[in-house]
Amino acid sequence: MNIGVIGAGSWGTTLADLLAKNGHAVTLWAYEHDLVERMRKNRKNDLYLPDFTLDDNLDFTSELREAAADKEIVVLVAPSQVLRAVVRQAAAYFTDDTVLVSAAKGIENDTLMPMSEVLKEVLPEKRYRRSAYISGPTFAREVAAEVPTALTVASDDEEIARLVQKTFSCFYFRIYRSSDVVGVELGGALKNVIALAAGVSDGLGYGYNARAALITRGLVEMTRIGVAMGADERTFMGLSGMGDLVLTCTGDLSRNRSVGLELGRGRKLQDILSGMKMVAEGVKTTLSAYQLAKRLKVETPIIEQMYQILFENKEPRQAVTDLMQRSLKAEMD
């Protein structure tokens, strides 16, 4: 198949390389023209995935038209807060037959929309209908190293979901289907907020008990928001929910956990972010998640404390104390 991948961070580059290895003709779009030139010359993404040589079936461009025009599938891997702008620019090159696969994880700050709602607002309905959303427990470096990985594709159209399954899956990359677009998307977005909190806990030196509690109660908060938005609560027990949450809260490759670790150790947020090449989606998603929970009238104490740490300069140790001293209740309330 002819496939375009828009976004050449570590995850976009990894997905483009995987699709090329699967025998497809793939064009990877990067914003940085100089990065494109280096990838063409060295077949390495030296900014975001420097340790891996990229497949010969993979081409590179800094022109959106070349990544979006005449493509059977276009994979969208731009950061969630800029996806709307990128799709608006690229949409002129899509056809009514183009299948769009979003691999972005986040909730838009201004509108509090998941990426599916952003696409629905930007695209004509007949083009939006040919969209799918992939999410699950994936570190780009491990996928690039061909470590066995499983995730989920969600679409309102089962034929589209099956096409994505067939196109992406291989001996080390397995995709399951779902029809719960909202649930799959929210799991992938909200887990980043809980990963920040888990990192804060680890940075404070609180150990495994505290981390396990944060993961478990964090899943409750993710599920509450999802159900309030019409998702199936069972989705949050799957790969895009619990699976991604466990990975991101415990894995040393997690950017969001790493930011939380540094916050717990006393560093300021801006100092942490200024030293990072890649985006920690959880920081901006915390703002969206906090506001979304308020809009939905859903109780999310971990997300609320994480919001106060990030945006109101609350001391992390005090945030944990406040969580622990809330009024006692039944676990399943």
Q: What sign does the CA torsion over 98, 139, 60, 166 have?
A: negative
Active site residue 191: yes
Residue with tokens 């089962």: 158
Q: Report the chain's terminal Cα–Cα distance, integer Å.
A: 49
Residue with tokens 């038209």: 65
Number of neighbouring beta carbons within 10 Å of residue 186: 30
Alpha-carbon distance of 134 to 155, in angstroms, equals 9
Alpha-carbon distance of 11 to 305, in angstroms, equals 29
Helix or strand or coil: residue 49?
strand
Alpha-carbon distance of 120 to 99, in angstroms, equals 14
Give the strand order in the sheet containing 73-76: 58-61, 25-29, 2-6, 73-76, 99-102, 131-135, 149-154, 173-178
Alpha-carbon distance of 143 to 258, in angstroms, equals 20
Q: Are 96 and 26 in contact (CB under 8 A)?
A: no
The closest alpha carbon to 59, from 116, 9, 20, belongs to: 20
- How open is the CA angle 160-181-83, to the nearest 5 degrees? 90
Alpha-carbon distance of 19 to 6, in angstroms, equals 13
Which residue out of 191, 284, 294, 314 is catalytically annotated? 191
Element (H, E) at 3: strand 2-6
The closest alpha carbon to 195, from 274, 115, 286, belongs to: 286
Helix or strand or coil: residue 277?
coil
Alpha-carbon distance of 205 to 76, in angstroms, equals 38
The catalytic site residues sit at 191
